[in-house]
Every structure is written in structure tokens, then in C-alpha cells.
């Protein structure tokens, strides 16, 4: 069974204090690893797709990296508006079909204090 584990569960940072979130995964037939941001009362907002080990993607203060077993979301000089829950998900075939299914991790709640 596909598994995704995110750590830490919660992270408190001071504004400007860089850090990383971890997503480790076990999946058969990976079809992509995705990072999402979710604000309270909103749906997940797509951030990145990572395709293969060694790949990196950047967007503003965020940089996502991928190895064969885990992904990191690096946050450089965060601001209070970066506070949100960050979800990692893997896409893999499901139930003997050709259709893919997203399996989410439990998320990391990031709080950035001014």
C-alpha cells in the first residue's frame, strides 16, 4: 500500500528563519510527487510537480527537491503570509486500473511569526 509521511507535524519559524519540510514516500509506480499549500477554510492550492529523482522546482521563497525516497520543501526567509498547511501527495496507479490516485501525507502546519 502506498504511504506518505510528512514531518514535522507542525513548525514554528520566525520571519526570515529558513527551514525545510520533509515528505517520505513508499509507492509502486510513482507518477509524480506534488506539493500543495492549504489555507484554513480553502482547498489545496497546487505548488509543484516533481517527476524524477534529482529534480528541483522553485517558486518565490519555496524550493522543492526529490530523491528516490523523499522530497523536501525548502522555505527561504519565510514571511508571515507563508503560514499554511503544506501537503505532499504522490500519484500512483490504483486498483489494477490505469487510473491514478493521489495519496496525501498528513501535512505540516507552518506558522511564521513576524
Partner 1 sequence: DTEVTQTPKHLVMGMTNKKSLKCEQHMGHRAMYWYKQKAKKPPELMFVYSYEKLSINESVPSRFSPECPNSSLLNLHLHALQPEDSALYLCASSQDPGALYQPQHFGDGTRLSIL
Asked whether position 49 contacts partner 1 by CB under 8 A, the answer is yes
Residue 34 is placed in which grid cell? 506534488
CA distance 105 to 102: 10
The three-state secondary structure class of 41 is coil
Q: Quick one: which H or E segment has residue 22? A: strand 19-26
Pick between residue 28 and residue 97 the one whose CB is nearest to partner 1: 97
Asked whether position 27 contacts partner 1 by CB under 8 A, the answer is no
The three-state secondary structure class of 80 is helix
Q: Residues 55 to 114: which contact partner 1 by CB under 8 A?
A: 87, 89, 91, 94-95, 97-102, 104-107
β-bridge partners, 71: 23, 66
Q: How far is the CB of 87 from partner 1 (least distance, A)?
A: 6
Binding site for partner 1 (CB under 8 A): 31-32, 34, 36, 41-46, 49, 51, 87, 89, 91, 94-95, 97-102, 104-107
Amino acid at each position: 500500500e502506498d504511504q506518505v509521511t510528512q514531518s514535522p507535524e507542525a513548525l514554528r519559524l520566525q520571519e526570515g528563519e529558513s527551514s525545510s519540510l520533509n515528505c517520505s514516500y513508499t509507492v509502486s509506480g510513482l507518477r509524480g510527487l506534488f506539493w500543495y499549500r492549504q489555507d484554513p477554510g480553502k482547498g489545496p492550492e497546487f505548488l509543484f510537480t516533481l517527476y524524477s529523482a534529482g529534480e528541483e522546482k522553485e517558486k518565490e521563497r519555496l524550493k522543492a527537491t526529490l530523491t528516490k525516497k523523499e522530497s523536501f520543501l525548502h522555505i527561504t526567509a519565510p514571511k508571515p503570509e507563508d503560514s499554511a498547511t503544506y501537503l505532499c501527495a504522490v500519484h500512483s496507479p490504483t486498483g489494477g486500473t490505469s487510473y491514478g490516485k493521489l495519496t496525501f501525507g498528513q501535512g505540516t502546519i507552518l506558522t511564521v511569526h513576524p
